Amino acid sequence: MANIINKRFIIPVLILFAIVFPFVTQNDYFIHVMTLSFIWMIGVYGLNLLAGYTGYLSLAHAGFFAVGAYSLGLLTVKAQMNFWLAFVLSLIITSVLGFLIGLIALRTKEHFFAIYTLCVGYILYLIIDKWDSLTEGVRGLIGIPAPGNIGPISFETPLSQYYLVLAILLVVILIVYRIVHSLTGRTYIAIRNSEDLALTIGISTMKNKLEVFVLSTFFAGLSGALYASFIRFIGPDIGNIVITFDLLTYLLIGGIGTLSGPIVGTVLVVWISQQLQFLQDYRMLIFGPILTLLVIFYPRGIAGSIAGWNAKRAEKKLAKAQQDERFSQSPISAENQVKEG
Amino acid sequence: MFLETKSLSKKFGGLTAVNNVDFTVEKGKINAIIGPNGAGKSTFFNLISGFHPPSSGSIILKGQDITRMPPNKIAEMGIARTFQTTNLFEQSTVLDNVVVGHRLRTKSNLLDAVLRTKRLKREEEQCREKALEVINFTGLEKVAGKLVGSLTQEEKKRTAFALALATDPEIVFLDEPAAGVNPDETEGLAQLMKKMVDKGITVCLIEHKMQMIMKLADKIMVLNYGEKIAEGTAEEIQNDPAVIKAYLGGSASA
């Protein structure tokens, strides 16, 4: 019961905090970092649906992130398309690509799947890097427009962009929450748990896996498109495998297969990284060991471990309640217990 | 004929795991498959439930050929199975494990989930009711809220039964349901199988516990080196020289 009250209380407080955050800090740089965190979170939620809830660790997500970003960039800069039309198109392009790659990739399992998608991600990166005539190669794409006006609302200022990204993030979280807490989510979890068992209870595993894979790339593409319109400049590096591992780090630290994990992990790692900027690449000397320890001792991350403790406590309480019930039903045996004790 | 295999064979490279097996499962009875280790019993189950495509032969359910159907389609046809290892999700409760078992009888999709449609709510309720029904049926109501990881081996087996029953099967295949379970609990599981038959569900099981099988099964098939060496009632099997030879070795006349 305490947990439910907790949840009901924490979520509105967090949303309220996110809404008032820009007014509290008044610091443009902090708002910038926070907006970026929100964008990463969308990508991490995508990865979480696939790796966390369905058990398929994809390492191609930076590739799909870059495809989303470059689709938006090319359609707005080179094709001069209306921003929102380009935005929707870039999501469709990423999802269709995800569907085609998923058809092949999902024939593999476990580490073979991870290695296959690692290669796919790298190929996507290479295409973006080498296809000079289309993507401008290492020079990158400059001058991507900010999100276009929706009616009277414009998104030219960092503050308005912060709220736009926050709104989209909240919708993404709502969607993921609803999926995870539905029969569809249970189906995905059944596949993660044991694909053989899922098949014997009549679940079409291929269809469901493909569904999650596409959804997952959709979120990666959404994240990429938002990134492109927020940073306004993109280079091939955003498709680099390093980005995939960044997303994965956020997910692992926060808690893979949990709903709050992507938020916890992303905020924590991004802010710690900011604080450790002065160490440059040496900050990995701190992150590396922390991540290793976490994976060994808390494989379910921060959110996962807390959920685990709560579940155990609830179970103990239940066991105790049942025991009490038994005692009250048969006072004689309870007396005997006391004597024996 | 309820379920029938016709000269069913499975070869893994040079090894013939199941060789020309003709077998019929009788409706509303407890059918058993026994045989020494490596006799091909589990492979036989895997062929019927669609996990391995047979090398030759056919499987017929109620007059319909289901030989090369994928496992999920076979489940929809009303064939459920359990595994030797229960494969359950240990970090989740019994109820949560069993709820998804009725998924194959529901239609709601991703869009229903995102929009929280009426259909989804109705079907979720339907799955929950089904789960509670089979949990009661298998005698797990006391532990429904417990994590599967904290259950006894027998309770895990019962949970696996419950999950199989949640698919609304006409026939369940149980792969060594009483393995690793003490004699008292074995009796309890035997009672549960009888209860399933009383409810109109046909049972087919693989088991090594002879005492249990001989008391329980209406019909027994004996496999040895992938071949059917005997088929009949418990009494017939016990007196069959080929069976005695397979289990005890030596010549049949000894």
Domain ranges of chain A: 28-299
Beta strand B79-81 with B171-175 is parallel
Query: Does residue B161 sit in the same domain as residue B174?
Result: no
Residues 6+ apart with CB under 8 A from A61: A43, A46, A47, A121, A216, A217, A220, A243, A244, A247
What is the gyration radius of the CA atoms in chain B, in angstroms? 19
Select from 1.10.3470, 1.10.1060, 1.20.1440, 2.60.40 the CATH code of A28-299.
1.10.3470
User: Does B168 lie at the interface with A, CB-CB under 8 angstroms?
Assistant: no
Query: Does residue B177 sit in the same domain as residue B236?
Result: yes
Query: Does residue B182 sit in the same domain as residue B242?
Result: yes
Collect all residues of chain B within an 8 Å Cβ-Cβ radius of residue A203: 72, 100, 103-104
pLDDT for residue A36 is more than 90: yes
Question: Chain B: residue nearest A187 by CA?
Answer: B100
pLDDT for residue A337 is more than 80: no
At A197, which amino acid appears? L
Domain that holds residue B152: 91-166
Instruction: State the best of B47, B69, B72 to mutate against chain A, taking most chain A CBs within 10 Å.
Output: B72
From B137, B166, B195, give the residue that closes a domain. Answer: B166
What pLDDT score does A329 carry?
Answer: 56
> Is residue B203 within 8 Å of residue B30, measured between CB atoms?
yes
Q: What is the mean pLDDT of residues A49-68?
A: 94
What pLDDT score does A326 carry?
Answer: 62
Give residue-wise pLDDT tens across range A180-208.
999 999 999 999 988 999 999 999 999 99
Determine, for residues A190 and B103 on separate chains, whether the beta-carbon distance falls below 8 Å. yes
Collect all residues of chain A within an 8 Å Cβ-Cβ radius of residue B52: none
Give CA–CA dist A249/A37, Å, rounded: 13
Query: Does residue B145 sit in the same domain as residue B162?
Result: yes
What pLDDT score does B1 carry?
Answer: 62
**Complex ipTM:** 0.88
Helix (H/G/I), strand (E/B), else coil: B18: strand
Q: What is the mean pLDDT of residues A64-77?
A: 94
Q: What is the mean pLDDT of residues A112-121?
A: 94
What's the whole-number average pLDDT of chain B? 88
Beta strand B202-206 with B30-34 is parallel
Collect all residues of chain B within an 8 Å Cβ-Cβ radius of residue A193: 87-89
Query: Does residue B203 sit in the same domain as residue B127?
Result: no
Which one of B70, B104, B124 has the shortest CB-CB distance to A201?
A: B104
pLDDT for residue A333 is more than 50: no
Query: Does residue B132 sit in the same domain as residue B177?
Result: no
pLDDT band at A85 (very low <50, low <70, confident <90, very high): very high
Query: Does residue B174 sit in the same domain as residue B50?
Result: yes
Give residue-wise pLDDT tens across range A221-256.
999 999 999 999 999 999 899 899 999 999 999 999
Buried/exposed B96-135: b ≥16 CB within 10 Å, e otherwise: bbbbbbbbbebebbbebbbeeeeebeebbeebeebbbebb
Which one of A201, A204, A205 has the shortest CB-CB distance to B163?
A: A201
Give residue-wise pLDDT tens across range B45-67.
999 999 999 999 999 998 888 98
pLDDT in tens, chain B (254 residues): 688 899 898 999 888 898 888 998 888 889 999 888 888 888 999 999 999 999 999 999 988 889 889 999 999 999 999 988 878 888 888 999 999 999 889 888 888 888 888 999 999 999 999 999 999 999 998 888 888 888 888 899 999 999 999 999 999 999 988 888 888 888 889 999 999 999 999 999 998 888 888 888 888 998 888 888 888 888 888 888 888 888 777 554 44
Q: How many domains does chain B have?
A: 2
Query: Does residue B72 sit in the same domain as residue B179?
Result: yes
Residues 6+ apart with CB under 8 A from B9: B16, B18, B19, B20, B21, B54, B55, B56, B57
What pLDDT score does A13 carry?
Answer: 86
Query: Does residue B180 sit in the same domain as residue B211?
Result: yes
> Phi and psi dihedrals of A82, rounded to 5?
-55, 140
Q: Is residue B86 part of a domain?
A: no
What pLDDT score does B164 carry?
Answer: 92
From B135, B166, B197, give the residue that closes a domain. Answer: B166
What pLDDT score does A325 carry?
Answer: 67
Report the percentage of chain A scoring pLDDT > 70: 92
Give CA–CA dist B25/A62, Å, rounded: 53
Which one of A178, A203, A315 has the shortest CB-CB distance to B147?
A: A315
Collect all residues of chain B within an 8 Å Cβ-Cβ radius of residue A311: 91, 147
pLDDT for residue A338 is more than 50: no
> What CATH number does residue B62 fall under?
3.40.50.300
Collect all residues of chain B within an 8 Å Cβ-Cβ radius of residue A175: 114
Q: Is residue B84 part of a domain?
A: no
pLDDT for residue A330 is more than 70: no
Determine, for residues A322 and B150 on separate chains, whether the beta-carbon distance falls below 8 Å. no
Which one of A189, A200, A203 has the shortest CB-CB distance to B81?
A: A200
Q: Is residue B232 part of a domain?
A: yes
Query: Does residue B54 sit in the same domain as residue B98?
Result: no
pLDDT band at A2 (very low <50, low <70, confident <90, very high): very low
pLDDT band at A6 (very low <50, low <70, confident <90, very high): low
User: Does B113 lie at the interface with A, CB-CB under 8 angstroms?
Assistant: yes
From B166, B195, B220, give the residue that closes a domain. Answer: B166
Q: Is residue B112 part of a domain?
A: yes
Q: Is residue B199 part of a domain?
A: yes
Query: Does residue B143 sit in the same domain as residue B182?
Result: no
User: Does B101 lie at the interface with A, CB-CB under 8 angstroms?
Assistant: yes
Buried/exposed B169-192: b ≥16 CB within 10 Å, e otherwise: bbbbbbbbbbeebeeebbebbbeb
Determine, for residues A205 and B114 on separate chains, whether the beta-carbon distance falls below 8 Å. no
pLDDT for residue A213 is more than 60: yes
